[in-house]
Amino acid sequence: MTLRIDPTRALPLQAYRDADVFEHERHTIWRGGWVFVGTVDQVAEPGDWFATELGGQPIIVRRDQQGELGALANVCAHRGTLLVEGAGNDKRFQCPYHSWTYRDDGSLMAVPHSGDDDIDKADWCLPRYRCEAWNGLVFVSINEKVSSLAERFAHLDPIVAPHGIESLHHWTSQRESETWAANWKLVMANAMESYHLFAIHPDTLEPYTPTSGSYYIAGNAHGTATGGQEKGQDDYVLLSLPPNFVGVISNNAFLYQVVVPVAADRTTVVSGGAFAETDPATSSAVGSFLKRTAARVSESLVPDFLPEDKAICERGQLAASGDFEPGPILGVERVLVDFHTYLAEAYARESAG
């Protein structure tokens, strides 16, 4: 189904409710380009891996024994069983069903009880996907024809580089997730723009990062940097990297929100952050103190505004069943023009076949 978008106007409500639109997005967006999947600290050591999915395709993101990042299909080539769940550290992956075993480069190394069957192991390797990192963020693309991540975000490098976010450490212990009853595009648009702060967050965000202090820095369909005044601090920088990542750089920290589509009207929202200190071992008394300190820093940087965002996004989803003539995008929410251009280009690729 083709969905036509005017980037200078709000999205048609069909974009939030239509199951066919959602299914097409799985292929044109989530399987068609770069998607944020995690952070380098999740795969810091050789053998580290974690399981996730892109547009319904199960994948493994791993760091091999040579220290290289990569991504593999998380589906056994024998009968399609999920190989792993969660995260771990291994040199190989073994299917729990019939014990077909793969090296961490995806090559098949063992087929138990194959007897006289003619199994050419080279024919049954796990598919490998593009996997690259940018400033500590890991992205995967199932589409091998996409341009490099460095090229995609080149326009943002001069803005991000002075903040040194690549040296910050992502604390997985501080990550939280929740499922909202709203389409993923509603959640992303809300996270990107600062126009709503004065109305939705009058006590939590507006006093510290006022709507009137927000401004556009630079951007295009691949990513946008906006900024804003922050009470008692240098201006913050907000990075919007479609389709699923929004992060704010502020006060030697990088706090982010990630969306994971579940259905046309449901989205898992993951929040996390990177700080100057590494995540200490929980068994260490000093480590426990530092973790508590980081939690307090996180809370002081960002008050508890997510329930307010959840409520307004779910309210928007309730209206998605009605008729609507898309209204104009204002200058204060210019980041949405870039996001809508990204969507328009994706739907145009679908229409072109």
**pLDDT tier at 327 (50, 70, 90 boundaries)?**
very high
**pLDDT tier at 350 (50, 70, 90 boundaries)?**
low
pLDDT 10s digits, 231-245: 888 999 999 999 999
Q: Has residue 121 got a pLDDT over 90?
A: yes
**229: helix, coil or strand?**
strand
In the predicted model, what is the mean pLDDT of residues 128-151? 96
- One-letter amino acid for residue 149 of the chain: L
Can you tell me the distance from the alpha carbon of 202 to that of 94, in angstroms, rounded to the nearest whole number? 52
Q: Residues of 146-169 as b/e, b for ≥16 C-beta within 10 angstroms?
A: beebeebbeebeebbeebebeebb
Whether the model pTM is above 0.85: yes
- One-letter amino acid for residue 227 of the chain: G
pLDDT 10s digits, 41-78: 999 999 999 999 999 999 999 999 999 999 999 999 99
Q: Residue 96 is encoded by which pair of tokens?
A: 């729990």
Q: At what angle do helices 184-192 and 335-352 cross, to 10 degrees?
A: 150
pLDDT 10s digits, 185-221: 999 999 999 999 999 999 999 999 999 999 999 999 9
**pLDDT tier at 110 (50, 70, 90 boundaries)?**
very high
**Residue 234 to residues 77, 229, 294: CA-CA distances in angstroms?**
52, 7, 20
In the chain, which segments carry CATH 3.90.380.10?
1-31+156-353
In the chain, which segments carry CATH 2.102.10.10?
33-145
33-145 under CATH 1.20.1530.20, yes or no: no
pLDDT 10s digits, 4-38: 899 999 999 999 999 999 999 999 999 999 999 99
**341: helix, coil or strand?**
helix
In the predicted model, what is the mean pLDDT of residues 93-117? 94
CATH topology of domain 1-31+156-353: Naphthalene 1,2-dioxygenase Alpha Subunit; Chain A, domain 1 (3.90.380)
Q: Note the helical H segments in 147-284.
A: 149-152, 157-160, 184-192, 197-200
Contact call for residues 327 and 193 (beta carbons, < 8 A): no
Can you tell me the distance from the alpha carbon of 83 to that of 106, in angstroms, rounded to the nearest whole number? 12
pLDDT of residue 289: 38
**pLDDT tier at 278 (50, 70, 90 boundaries)?**
low
pLDDT of residue 352: 42
Mean pLDDT of the chain: 90
pLDDT of residue 189: 98
pLDDT of residue 252: 83
Contact call for residues 276 and 166 (beta carbons, < 8 A): no
pLDDT of residue 292: 45
- One-letter amino acid for residue 339 of the chain: F
DSSP state of 110: E
Contact call for residues 218 and 225 (beta carbons, < 8 A): yes
Q: Residue 28 is encoded by which pair of tokens?
A: 């044109």
pLDDT of residue 291: 45
Share of the chain above pLDDT 90, in %: 80
